[in-house]
Chain A
Amino acid sequence: MPGLKLEGVGKSFGTFAAVAGVDLDLPPGKLVCLLGPSGCGKTTLLRLVAGLEEPSTGRVRFDGQDLTRIPAHKRGFGMVFQSLALFPHLSVGENVGYALRIRGTGRAERRRRVEELLELVRLPGVANRHISQLSGGQRQRVAIARALALDPRLFLLDEPLSALDAKLREAMQVELRMLQQRLGITTIVVTHDQREAMTMADVVVVMERGHTRQIGPPLEIYRNPASTFVADFIGITNLLPGRATGSDEVTVANVPIRVGAGKELSRGVEVTLSVRPEEVHVLAADAGGDNRLPGEVTFIRDLGASVEISVDCGGLTVLAITTPKERPGARVGERAMVELPPAACIALSS
């Protein structure tokens, strides 16, 4: 059984269950994002995999081997910490070569490998510099190079980009993903930023209060969220409360809305409709047809590249995102009709 396998792994601190019996199978060579709000247990789960915490329950296996009782320094995993944790008393080169020094690699071989690693993270020729002489982005690269020094079997990153400013972060996401694909290394990234997860991940694990809520490719989770929590956390969505009035029909604000293919709804049950704003169309007030809610435009946010229109439909605010080219003529204060295409409507149990 290649790859990482978690069997009912849980961790409690006193009476607080940080991670509650997680089962997870990570295929080798993929990048997995543990995604969730702060305090959902994603960092604790990563630390359990790393061996920095001992699980209260369950087992951690890698390539079939039981690692549950193996200490962190014998697991052969590389890790990048949130604070980066670069050793302040060592130079850049000594930081990157620390693992090799511990292992007893010779000085010449060590120097060659350090240069190679710095080359890999596109930071050549800084081996003799002091850590304090580097910028935030450069430190990030040094931390990555250091963690990769021993060709780890598993690469773990705990909110690695949180210290960088927004622009640099976006660039590093792409670079990190390309590096991971080039090396083909199994990687787990902890993040609370859904954009980061969408950019980098092959598989996203959405977590909430110590439980995994949904596991799958990012786009699949985006299009087919399993719960209102997941729908709301991954991207922006309209959550509209309603009641099932047929096997594929939900009544929202007294208007029957047909929903896309999915599990059959039982009549009379309270459900929440999730509709992504880019699927919503804003039409003229007199446009008739099915799956349409009448309302009044309350706000238009024109960002240049996209236009966001808020429409108040009998107390429910529906957000539509469109491009400037397809921008409807509606203005703030005017009546309008919002169309919710059936294929974009996902009924979730409330």
Chain B
Amino acid sequence: MTRPVPRGLGQHLVVIYPALMLGVFFIVPFAIMLAVSFFHRVQGGFYEPGFELDNYARFFSAFFARVLGFSVLVAGLAALVSVIVCFPFTYLVTRLGRRWQVVLLVYILAVLSLSEVIIGFSWSTLLSRTAGISNLLVWLGLMDAPAAWSPGLTALLLGLCYLGFPYTVLILYPPLSRLDPQLPEAARMLGASPLRTFFTVVVPAMRSTILGALIMVFVFTLGAYLLPQVLGRPQHWTLSVLITDQAIFQSNLPFAAAMAIFLMLVSLALVGLTMMLGSREALR
């Protein structure tokens, strides 16, 4: 036990406070989840303490391999689309006057307050055959008959990207607004058109920021469990959906815990790999 001396209280607090927060909100829950993942499930009941690898063994099937692969692919694709769309947008926002920047950022923060449920059902309506955008296109004469675009993979990706946009903008905004405006100007003076300046100076100079945004949005969309159910077909259900299903509807907490830990390990490995590739690129 540390006995805080009045003189050193401040210094002790500096260490104790983060340690307490990490312990209470991260390490303890994670330890419980890790323990539960090895527990024995009582059929028709709850679970009892024990140590078995059955929950992990269940993964090694073609079904779970497919679901895991699909989950990673969809989250990766959503992250890629979000960053590709948001990077030029955020860059142009930082070039605007202060007043416009504030208006746009407040709007984006407002979008952030929408829940996954509202976003999911709104897109599901917008993409439906009876009340969706296709009716508008028919009215404009661009389509022959209204079509149902949801549920489906495109609808799911659209929803995930929409969910990811405000986060991506908020991640990209601080480093982009700190970018020295004289960098693109220097490129202009050296004969590069605005478009070439963007691709040869702004994007490469912001390489690590872009990589960071990709990782954040990837991890964020990997955890979405409502959108796949609302906008996707059963074959589009991601691992997060299966975890929810096992934990809430099948009452199989040990298996849900095992899947959650597995998903975390896989995403950690992917993030680590991306960062390693990124740092090697930077060293070159």
Give A residues with C-beta under 8 Å from B. Answer: 50-52, 71-74, 76-79, 81-83, 85-90, 98-99, 102-103, 146-147, 149-150, 156
The winner among B192, B197, B207 for most chain A CB atoms within 10 A is B192
Q: How far is the CA of A82 from the CA of B180 in the complex (A)?
A: 11
What residues on A are CB-neighbors of B205 within 8 Å? 87-89
The verdict on B19 contacting chain A, using a C-beta distance below 8 Å, is no
A98-B190 CB under 8 A given contacts A87-B205, A88-B205, A89-B205 = yes
Given contacts A73-B193, A102-B196, A102-B200, A85 and B188 within 8 Å (CB-CB): no
Q: Which residue of B lies closest to A89 (CB)?
A: B204
For A86, the chain B residues whose CB sits under 8 A away are: 186
Q: Which chain B residue lies CB-closest to A52?
A: B185
- A-B CB contact pairs (8 Å), 25 listed: A73-B192, A73-B193, A73-B197, A78-B189, A81-B185, A81-B186, A85-B180, A85-B185, A85-B186, A86-B186, A87-B183, A87-B187, A87-B205, A88-B205, A89-B205, A90-B204, A98-B190, A98-B192, A98-B200, A102-B190, A102-B192, A102-B196, A102-B200, A149-B190, A156-B189
Inter-chain contact A99/B185, CB cutoff 8 Å: no
Tell me the minimal C-beta distance from B58 to chain A in angstroms: 46
Contact, CB under 8 Å: A79 / B189? yes
Quote the shortest CB–CB distance from A291 to chain B (angstroms): 52
Which residue of chain B lies nearest to A150 when distances are taken between CB atoms in the complex?
A: B191
* B208-232 Cβ-contact flags toward A at 8 Å (1 or 0): 0000000000000000000000000
In the bound complex, do residue B183 and residue A102 qualify as a contact, i.e. CB atoms below 8 Å apart? no
Specify which chain B residues have a CB less than 8 angstroms from the CB of A50 in the assembled complex.
189
Q: Nearest Cβ distance between residue A142 and chain B, in whole angstroms?
A: 12
From residue A190, how far is it (CB to closest CB) to chain B in Å? 13
Q: How far is the CA of A156 from the CA of B185 in the complex (A)?
A: 13
B190 to A85, Cβ gap below 8 A?
A: no
A3 to chain B minimum Cβ distance, whole angstroms, is: 20
Known contacts being A89-B205, A89-B207, is A99 close to B182, with CB within 8 Å? no
B201 at the interface (CB under 8 A from A): yes
- Say how far A129's CB is from chain B's closest CB, in angstroms: 14
Q: Which residues of B contact A83 (CB under 8 A)?
A: 180, 182
Q: Which of A51, A71, A99 contacts B190 (CB 8 A)?
A: A99
Chain B residues within an 8 Å CB radius of A81:
182, 185-186
Q: How far is the CA of A82 from the CA of B189 in the complex (A)?
A: 14
Interface centre among A77, A98, A146, A156 (most CB of B within 10 A): A98
Minimum CB–CB distance for A258 against chain B, Å: 52
Bound complex: CA of A51 vs CA of B194, how far in Å?
A: 13
Beyond the given pairs A99-B190, A147-B189, A150-B191, 7 more chain A to chain B contacts, judged by CB atoms under 8 angstroms and listed by A's residue number, are A73-B189, A73-B192, A76-B191, A86-B186, A87-B204, A102-B190, A146-B186
